[in-house]
Structure 1
């Protein structure tokens, strides 16, 4: 990890220069170099050009590779509906042009979104298939992807022992193993699972490894995660300073799932040290982020934290319990006044598919019209209530 620091300035410059780059091979290679240092945002415009060329029958393989890179950025920056849609499109191209390895890599991103949304059975079946395909072919990175997805599934379901085993299969607690850059994507998973399974020493060793490798210098995401994990393992009288440091990282909001997980941990810490009023805004902001993402298990955990602190949580819990991320996005767009065709253009699906989604989700929410849908979402998912609003009365 330390060897990456000296080339960060060069990598950023090369990524910025892609705006004028026409060679798809150069674009693809620079983007791949930006994956684990979180510089893909600067590559997106160029990657989109490569994707369009692949869609048109040009450099299909490079187009699929560009879809993988954009899927990475979609996952980390919370564009999960887009991540799922783009990965599905890429899988179809892989099957058409016989790119099985890319097909399994793209399935990984669909599985991440599904796992974070609490979809367990089908997700585990898919990653088991990934492992069966990857292991005999020596595709080690795909096996690591499967461990990541399983860790997320088990973390969401509260099985911290299994989450720990899966996350540390990528890199053991207390180490950031050489040639395992994917360890940078499961830092919170290792630390949280270690703490919740009674492995405080292992959690602290993992934070020490982050400090030793100075991963906070690599990107704002890793600065956020490094400080947040340090807060999780700190003594009660030191934790607040670390949490505040994490949430003050510039561009922290660019990484909504990581940030919300740290806000959730902070709120739970404040509640644990008997500061429920101070915990409330962090738990509520985390809840709102999880709702937007469609991260239902974490949304339920935030709701539980609010209730345990004596607050009646006016939240989207009923919505999150019955709607998936795609359904929720379509419901919001429909409630905003967009037509089925306009929604389809925005989400790259047919207006008939949008209509089918709405046909299924209306009865789930107990409504029959778009006006009623808007009112129902406003009722269940208020956005403008402050911490002392009437909906948050202490019981």
Structure 2
């Protein structure tokens, strides 16, 4: 989208240098420019910079500089750049611009421009993604995070030659795609010699608010420093004016530099006002006053530059010439330079401070701004996206041609993976068309995109406007469905789900199968998460069965599984068992199949499809969906007792979900980690994660994920043989009156509930739960439910039947479910000991200890060891292995390296630079007591099953 773009203007805050040396003489101040290199009153901040650069040996860091307008953020950034260059570091920088705030990857393109000649060294998928993102070549929409991985590798390779400083300013005006890429990069510089420096004004959120970055907040200068700065810049200022400036500036460095410059005769009265203006407004007016005294051509140049900060110097001159209707040259910028408003080089004009741009733009008359936009539209006609926005900006009435061009811009933006840009173009197009039907159609499309982006408030505004316009019945139904479906927190309401199901059913009769399936997936997921009536479930099932799609269509299977897993479970399992989890297929379809299998408790089938989906989503760089697939993969692996895979998937999912602002998915990953921690015997970690998730979920009200909280707590209690506590947690999941009620998650816990109830003396409750499990297993015929039933039956059987049931379950029913097999061996050995068959108990207890120890079920393995010792046989405590010494991410990297993957290949899979992978391996070798990559396979094979997805 940026082909042919000329050199861009970068608007940066220059609050520190140059400052004015101001004296008084005659009727007004005498101003002389000079540079002051000292940063007054910033010793603490300079020490932080020194620390950041001094610690660059083998790792990097990120620093967020915050503070009010004019506080000196960019002065500190300029000092950081100076120090970096003195240290021999490379510096790359970018800055946001209002006109480009919706233009995808504009800020990233500016950042990487000096390194673009190195793009050819990237792997082909990354090279192509970056090329398409920057408009250099055509192709399918690149995923933002594949572009991010390409950018990360570019800067990491450069940092391998020399440490690197990345400077990001005017963060609030960066386009969304660039923000996502920079957030991705900032989280991954810790193990590379890269310093990430961001500056943001107070009152504006950043894309890294939840990244835990170190923040350096700039406060106002103390009195001594303020006086020193003022005296350095205006040494001859009269004493009464000096006191007034100090009082008005209130320690703001920019004000201390700029207010003295505003002290002409006209402005002195304003400075003495008893009710002073807010500082930012006062500074804007000071800048505006200076602009008003400039020649007309100079003002036109400044206005053009302020309206399009992506314009190069030649474009600024050309557009200003059109406004003035005469040639305007670079010499016409000299008065603005002399006034300290801009600095000019051969390619660009730089504003000294964003407030200069704001003052110029806000004080220009509407007619003058329109003329400038019109001139810019003509000047940048070769760049259709920029040109059409300038054409749209200068309009005050409808224009069908511009509306059509904006619609075309939206289509291109969607193809290039820029939905926010597309939504903005559609909204403006709707404002410019006179046709009510067209306006309604455009608003519906904009609302759909905004909902997908999570901008519910803006989407609802579009919906409200569209409702009053001429819409067809199909669009009205679609609009209502979008509006109702967007509020997922109230999906637990049976009435709400019924209404959505009715709407989705209407859509299936009017729309094509693709749109209908999309809507039905939304409602079906609501049925799985919420509490619909059976009538509502039947309505959704009937609707999807009417669609002309294959019976094994992945979306159709997911709708059936989510809408009614009990009644449709057997059918879904039968169809999925006939499919093959081909990793070369569509990863979205594979994810849907895996999700459908999980919904009907076929976790053994689900894991294969989810693992293939994870591989495919990695290859395509689909970061957000990858997080969801990893969550599902983790939970499926938990049920299959593939603990290493479950932990690495959950750990990665939690990180990716938070990076992509998917808070609920992050909590689902945290709760998976909680279950795994409880099984390992880390009850403190398990409890902390469950408590944190519950704290975030309770304000919502009834929610399906509250059942996962109780499941995690119950599993932890059972692992520690605290059966009464485990029973109290788990029974809440199956109590319809409880806020944690969820019958389908409850099915996961039925066997655990039978055990907890039986071991805590609640025999009647245990029999009730066993009956529920028997009924459910018979209805769905799924292997997981049959296995858990095999596990649960012996626990409640009379002594004369128990041994037969134990042996039957161990010989067949639990062979593919090692977690339940190990636990049942432990219970069988205990039962034999209680029957005074001590010698007979040793074999199952020994097998239980070996099984549970291999699975790293810490609490239960120790219980088996103690039972074995009580039977007269000793065993050694478990020796810590790689699972105990490495973090989940380190273990994942080590396993992939042991498979023979190169650092670059591992980096592509895990969205890390190859240099970061190298740093991880360098640091984990000593933890494992090895010194080379070739030793990894031997160390890991003895401790960890090869389960990496």
1:7 and 1:107 mapped to 2: Cα distance? 28
Structural mapping, 1:308-327, within 5 Å: 308-313=870-875, 315-319=876-880, 324=884
SS of corresponding position for 1:311: coil
Distance 1:301 1:215, change over 3 A: farther
Do residues 260 (structure 1) and 819 (structure 2) align?
Answer: no
Moved more, 340-349 or 157-166: 340-349
Contact 1:115/1:149, CA 8 A, preserved across alignment: yes
1:66 and 1:203 mapped to 2: Cα distance? 34
SS of corresponding position for 2:579: helix
Distance 1:168 1:330, change over 3 A: same
For residues 273-313 of structure 1, give each alpha carbon's deviation from its aligned partner in whole angstroms, at most 9, with x where no partner exists.
01122222211222112111111100011011111112123
Distance 1:339 1:106, change over 3 A: closer
SS of corresponding position for 1:229: helix
Q: CA deviation at 1:172?
A: 4.7
Moved more, 9-18 or 109-118: 9-18
In the other structure, the counterpart of 2:801 is: 238
Moved more, 297-306 or 338-347: 338-347
The equivalent position to 1:218 in structure 2, one of 738, 762, 781, is 781
The equivalent position to 2:709 in structure 1, one of 146, 151, 154, is 146
Q: Report the aligned-residue RMSD.
A: 4.0
Do residues 182 (structure 1) and 745 (structure 2) align?
Answer: yes
How many residue pairs match? The answer is 363
SS of corresponding position for 1:248: helix
The equivalent position to 1:162 in structure 2, one of 725, 742, 745, is 725
Distance 1:88 1:212, change over 3 A: closer
2:802 and 2:925 mapped to 1: Cα distance? 45
Distance 1:268 1:236, change over 3 A: same
Do residues 121 (structure 1) and 121 (structure 2) align?
Answer: no
Do residues 295 (structure 1) and 857 (structure 2) align?
Answer: yes
The structure that has the greater radius of gyration is 2
Structural mapping, 1:316-355, within 5 Å: 316-319=877-880, 324=884, 350=917, 352-353=919-920
Contact 2:690/2:709, CA 8 A, preserved across alignment: yes
Q: CA deviation at 1:42?
A: 3.8
Contact 1:225/1:246, CA 8 A, preserved across alignment: no
Do residues 280 (structure 1) and 837 (structure 2) align?
Answer: no
Q: CA deviation at 1:218?
A: 3.0
Q: CA deviation at 1:89?
A: 1.4
In the other structure, the counterpart of 1:95 is: 658
More relative contact order in 1 or in 2 (CA 8 Å, sep 6+)?
Answer: 1
Q: CA deviation at 1:205?
A: 2.2
SS of corresponding position for 2:764: helix
SS of corresponding position for 1:288: helix
SS of corresponding position for 1:254: coil
Moved more, 240-249 or 341-350: 341-350
Unmatched 5+ residue regions in structure 1?
Answer: 382-395
The equivalent position to 1:193 in structure 2, one of 756, 760, 763, is 756
SS of corresponding position for 1:253: coil
2:565 and 2:598 mapped to 1: Cα distance? 15
Do residues 106 (structure 1) and 666 (structure 2) align?
Answer: no
The equivalent position to 2:590 in structure 1, one of 27, 39, 59, is 27
Q: TM-score, normalised by structure 1?
A: 0.77
SS of corresponding position for 1:312: coil
Unmatched 5+ residue regions in structure 2?
Answer: 1-560, 911-915, 944-949
Q: CA deviation at 1:194?
A: 1.6
For residues 147-169 of structure 1, give each alpha carbon's deviation from its aligned partner in whole angstroms, at most 9, with x where no partner exists.
11111222223322211111111
Distance 1:63 1:16, change over 3 A: farther
Distance 1:199 1:263, change over 3 A: same
SS of corresponding position for 1:98: coil
2:687 and 2:925 mapped to 1: Cα distance? 28
Q: CA deviation at 1:361?
A: 6.6
In the other structure, the counterpart of 1:75 is: 638
1:83 and 1:345 mapped to 2: Cα distance? 19
Contact 1:15/1:31, CA 8 A, preserved across alignment: no
1:209 and 1:247 mapped to 2: Cα distance? 22
SS of corresponding position for 2:873: coil
SS of corresponding position for 1:127: helix
1:345 and 1:253 mapped to 2: Cα distance? 33
Distance 1:342 1:116, change over 3 A: farther
SS of corresponding position for 1:324: helix
Q: TM-score, normalised by structure 2?
A: 0.34
